[in-house]
Amino acid sequence: MTVEPLKLAPSELAFDIDGVFADTMTLFLDIARYEFGINDVRYEDIVEYDFKGFGRMDEAVSLEILIKIVEGKYTQPLNPMHGAPHVIEKLNRHHRPTLFVTARPDGEHISNWLLNVLPLDENDIEVVATGSFEDKKEVLLGRGIKHFVEDRLETCFLLQEAGITPIVYKQPWNRKPHPFHEVQNWQDIEALITFR
């Protein structure tokens, strides 16, 4: 299936954080390895977006790791996806603030992390924590966002129903058939943005 090429206006574009800007799954696996001794789960093994248990990982351990990540109580580094800070900085020169919408219940920790990894001021970004995947669409519609980069396929379908064009950030857990435009990395995202 051929997908029409997209041209994204900076003012109509927003981003998910975990799995799109932040390499959260690598952090998850690092915590599993270094704090729980779990070495047999690889990134590419995570083919479902479900923190209730990855592969042979115990559900209680998965939940404990998730809580550590959400609360910022980890010692391994959380890194941005390669090239993400450069693209956000460039985007911010054309429109600000750059909007990030996350299903995390609280945006304070991740907002502070973003400001540490981005060469921007706090007025240059806006982080909205919805507490649920379903509530992202209301935030995006309220801000006039037409395109949203997301890694959770189920959320993409919800956004499409609301009239928002999702862009799938390719991950092992979103490899089911879908009709959406995909990006492999932040260079792909940069190529879609109309910088004027």
47-100 pLDDT tens trace: 876 766 566 688 889 899 999 999 999 999 999 999 999 999 999 999 999 999
What 65-70 contacts at long range (C-beta under 8 Å, 24+ apart), as own/partner pairs, is: 65/28, 65/31, 65/32, 65/35, 65/36, 66/28, 68/31, 69/24, 69/27, 69/28, 69/31, 70/104, 70/105, 70/106, 70/109
Angle between helices 24-36 and 59-71 (to 10 degrees): 120
Of 163, 193, 166, whose CA–CA distance to 7 is shortest? 193
* Spatial distance between the Cα atoms of 31 and 62, rounded to a whole number of angstroms: 10
3, pLDDT greater than 60 = no
**Span 125-145, mean pLDDT?**
96
Across 1-22, average pLDDT: 86
Q: Is the pLDDT of residue 128 over 80?
A: yes
- Exposure letters 43-70 (e unless 16+ CB within 10 A, then b): eeebeebebeebeebeeebbeebeebbb
Q: What's the CATH architecture for 10-23+79-192?
A: 3-Layer(aba) Sandwich (3.40)
Average pLDDT over residues 9-15: 96
pLDDT at 59: 85
The Cα 151–Cα 15 span in angstroms is 10
Domain ranges of the chain: 10-23+79-192, 24-71
Whether residue 143 is predicted with pLDDT greater than 50 in this model: the reply is yes
Q: Look at 3-17, 29-43, 63-77, 112-126 and tell me which has the smallest mean pLDDT.
A: 3-17
**2 pLDDT higher than 50:** no
Confidence (pTM): 0.94
Q: What whole-number distance in Å separates Cα of residue 21 and Cα of residue 186?
A: 9
82: its two tokens: 């390669």
Residue 86 has a CB neighbour count (10 Å cut-off) of 15
**Taking Cα atoms as reference points, which of 126, 120, 169 lies closest to residue 145?**
126
The pLDDT mean for the chain works out to 92
Among 156, 132, 23, smallest CA distance to 79 is for 23
